Amino acid sequence: MRALRSAVITATMMSLAACTSAPPKAYVAPTISTAVSAPGNADLSEANATLQRALNERHLYLTVDDDVAPYPDSSCRNGLLKRVSSPAEIGAAQDPLYAGYLLPIRLQASGVRYRDSMGQWQPLTSLPATAMTVYLDLSDDARTPLAAPTLSALSGQPVSLVLSDAQYQQWQKAGSALGQGRIWVKRAPSLRRPEPEGANIEHLFQERSGAVLQALDGNPLAACQSQQDSVFIASATVPFQPGRGYRLEELVAMLPQDADFNQLFRQAALVAKGRYLTYWGKLAVLQDRCKSGELGADVCGKGRATSQRDDQGLIVVIGGESSDD
């Protein structure tokens, strides 16, 4: 009987203790950041923070060299090569704007050579270690036959070779330890697209896979716009209004997708005259047809901007009503 009484008391105490225990902590889901990380060469200075935010809204960014560039996720970089003149310009890290480097070379009896800053041909004894593919451009060296031993020497290096059409025919006959997948041919594209002014783009083709690369100097934004019809740039959010002044960040938000975003100060002067500069160097017209009543709210909306071509083929950006009128 005593044992039974003790068990009852123990059970009662345990029940009371359970009732007075602190409740379990509520589950808090981990916070997941969805922010897009800035590219390694982005300008993170406070002085350009407002401009940087405006460019980010258009899916562009300002580099430390004061260039406006496409984000790496625009898919442009996969088809772009940075043209360099010497191995010293080849960086070890992954460049966020390019998929590789294009280095002009020449074949001589003594081996592979490149032209230095003084115009002298120097032996290419080794290439800097890099995470990117290096494309050795032999296409301008038409005088030198493609010697199989020299090409075989390149097979041990992590490089691809760029040839002219005539050289490619030689290479097919000569045979080489350098596989077909590492041979590219430089030629003009069969279908010409608008090319950015002064871009000097070279087109490379992979015969086996049909892949295409574009080699260029300097900032790749205009080449990317040509390659993808500017669709990777977000639509304008500020409507054009004649006679209105635009701060730099507002100008970025107003310019059409095909604008040259690397000439913002020139664009500001042109916008005052109702025009803007496209990425291929042509002047186009900005016209507020919503305010004039030519177009209704079904086209203009409030604060929206669309575009079409006028009778002369000039691009016309249609501004909507100002949201702060």
pTM of this prediction? Answer: 0.71
User: Buried (b) or exposed (e) across 35-71, using 16+ Cβ within 10 A?
Assistant: eeeebebbbeeeebeebbebbbebebbbbeeebbbbb
**At 227, is the pLDDT very low, low, confident or very high (cuts 50, 70, 90)?**
confident
pLDDT single digits (tens) 29-74:
443 333 457 788 899 999 999 999 999 999 999 999 999 999 887 7
Confidence of residue 309 (pLDDT cuts 50, 70, 90): very low
Q: Per mean pLDDT, which range of 20-24, 139-143, 250-254, 268-272 is the poorest?
A: 20-24
**What does pLDDT average to over the chain?**
77
The token pair that represents 307 in the structure block:
């575009």
Residue 294 has pLDDT above 80, yes or no: no
3 state DSSP class of 278: strand
Structure tokens at 228: 């993808």
pLDDT of 234 higher than 90 = yes
Q: Which pLDDT score is estimated for 291?
A: 66
d(CA 239, CA 250): 10
